[in-house]
Amino acid sequence: MEFSTIAEWTFFEEVPIPQDVVSFLAQNEQPYAAFKTFRDTAIFTSKRLIVRDSQGLTGKKVEIYSLPYSAINMWSTENAGKLIDVNAEVELWTRAGHIKIKLGKKVDVHRIDTLIANAVLNH
């Protein structure tokens, strides 16, 4: 199936949760895991997936995407398969549209699948 993708990110590796993320969390929202993206970080919390995207030459301008788990209708995960295909992928179908997440070789696709499953199904 081909769908128009509204956003595409790459997660390179799991990293410690950034301390400054606490300043924009909702009441009773807890950060669970963070992943390095091309220029910033993606954070799985108890309520949503937050992707911070530093922009511009200095990286001081930051765009923040917030995807509440309640907006996810369906997801799929695909492992890397053969040696030639080094990236695993996650696809999210949401009320806003289709989101694709590529996973670098240091990210365990099963870890991502478990984070999403726990968040969406327990929400």
**Alpha-carbon distance 120 to 114, whole Å?**
10
**Alpha-carbon distance 100 to 91, whole Å?**
5
Q: What is the pLDDT of residues 1-13, one digit of tens each?
A: 455 678 889 999 9
Class of domain 5-121 as given by CATH: mainly beta
What torsion, rounded to 10 degrees, do the Cα atoms 32, 101, 108, 74 define? 80
For the ranges 8-22, 40-54, 55-69, the lowest mean pLDDT is seen at 55-69
For the chain, which residues make up each domain, given as ranges?
5-121
Question: Please, are residues 73 and 88 in contact by the beta-carbon 8 Å criterion?
Answer: no
Cβ within 8 Å of residue 73, ≥6 positions away: 93, 94, 95
Question: Please, are residues 31 and 42 in contact by the beta-carbon 8 Å criterion?
Answer: no
Q: What is the pLDDT of residues 75-116, one digit of tens each?
A: 999 886 655 556 789 999 998 899 999 999 899 999 999 999
Whole-prediction pTM value? 0.86
Q: CB 65: neighbour CB atoms within 10 A?
A: 15
